[in-house]
Amino acid sequence: MTQAQSHEAKWQELFQEERSRLIEIAELLLDRGCPEHILETALAELSRCPFDMAPVSATLAVVKAAIAYNYTFIDSWIATASSGTINYRHHSGTLPLQALPWAERAVCFLREVLRLSERDTAVLLGISEQNVDQLNRFAAKRMGASVDTGVRSNEPRSPRHRASRYAPSMPFAAFE
């Protein structure tokens, strides 16, 4: 067995072991489409790559494949961006992550669940860091989290626990 075949076999085994988690990531990041296709695309991308940092590489490959798939069906970023205003009349409580508009869901997932930097999130989504920040704030509002208004006081702030920032959500539980 050649080294490339060995890598491919290891990737296939990892994708089989992590299938449910990777499918969940693909579902969260897809605006529409088939998560199975995303996993196939990600696996094909990684099949000849070295098996270093495999779980992280698999997750990132699924993220990239889902975002690329979304952009093949989106006419413009405007079509996916949040309207910015939140109509609370239609929602009696906080929204779960899955119910957010795609752009907010993607930013929130990348920033708050996968803990990617603002810059990395912006690069992956092809938007500015300011857009990332704005979409993350919109998502936080929709999910019922208190949002920092940017007003700073001289009083020391106690660090917020990650779990207190967002309403409980099943997808978050899988990655906590």
The residues, ordered by sequence, that sit 6+ positions from 15 with a Cβ below 8 Å of its Cβ are 22, 39, 42, 43, 58
Structure confidence by residue, pLDDT tens digits, 108-148: 999 999 999 999 999 999 999 999 999 999 999 988 865 55
DSSP assignment, residue 112?
Answer: I
CATH class as words, domain 75-149+161-176:
mainly alpha
Higher local confidence (pLDDT), 96 or 163 = 96
**Whether the Cβ atoms of residue 47 and residue 35 lie closer than 8 Å to each other:** no
Q: What is the distance, to the nearest Å, from the Cα of residue 33 to the centroid of all Cα atoms in its chain?
A: 16
